[in-house]
Amino acid sequence: MRTAPPDRVVTADVACAETQLVSSLRPLIPARLDPAVATVLEETPVSTVRNQVIERFAVTDHPNGPGSVVITVHGEVDLLSGPLLHARLQEHIHEAGPDLVVDLTAVRHFGSSGLTTLMAAWNATVIAGVAFRVVARTRTVLHPLRITGVDRIVDVVPDLTTTS
């Protein structure tokens, strides 16, 4: 099983995500905004955005039995970090063997991008014939999963011992 170094995925995908985000936000800066604030927003370097995402988000992976992989997510899953998680999950889907487990117990914020990422991964695992489980026990993650019905589609368990 191939394990990619976290920096490779983070660096490549953050560059793409941050460029898209900064480009999409620039037209939204109101014309009546204080000129000093508008200048700061216009001149925010992409590297600043990258550093903020890397400080708030991390993904690690480790084997969980023969051919199985646990992807552990730390921090915030949002518009900027969602694509990073998506890339890491897609990378492991075809290599996971019997199952892929996403551990969200260390997640502090779980936005709509996280839901979209989980559903895309679930769909890819169904196509690949790989079991897909999510470990979640905090309200931060469980509430969005419940109100959107994702918990009725994806197998959500409270801890890693339940994934076997």
pLDDT per residue as tens digits for the range 51-73:
555 567 888 888 887 778 899 99
Residue count (the chain): 164
Please, what is the average pLDDT of the chain? 76
pLDDT at 153: 95
Task: Return the pLDDT at 2.
Answer: 45
Instruction: Tell me the mean pLDDT in the region 2-23.
Output: 49
Q: Tell me the CA distances in angstroms from 109 to 49, 67, 96, 153, one per residue in order.
A: 17, 30, 26, 21
> Of 1-5, 36-40, 52-56, 111-115, which has the strongest mean pLDDT?
111-115
Max mean pLDDT among 7-11, 13-17, 30-34, 66-70 falls in 66-70
Confidence of residue 3 (pLDDT cuts 50, 70, 90): very low
Instruction: For residue 141, name the pLDDT band (cuts at 50, 70, 90).
Output: very high
Q: What is the pTM of this model?
A: 0.68
Residue 149: helix, strand or coil by DSSP?
Answer: coil
pLDDT at 79 over 90: no
b/e map 5-40, b = 16+ CB within 10 Å:
eeeebbeebbeebbeebbeeeeeeeeeeeeeeeeee
CA-CA distances (angstroms) from residue 17 to 11, 83, 117? 10, 7, 14
Whether residue 91 is predicted with pLDDT greater than 90 in this model: the reply is no
Domains, in order of start, for the chain: 6-163 (3.30.750.24)
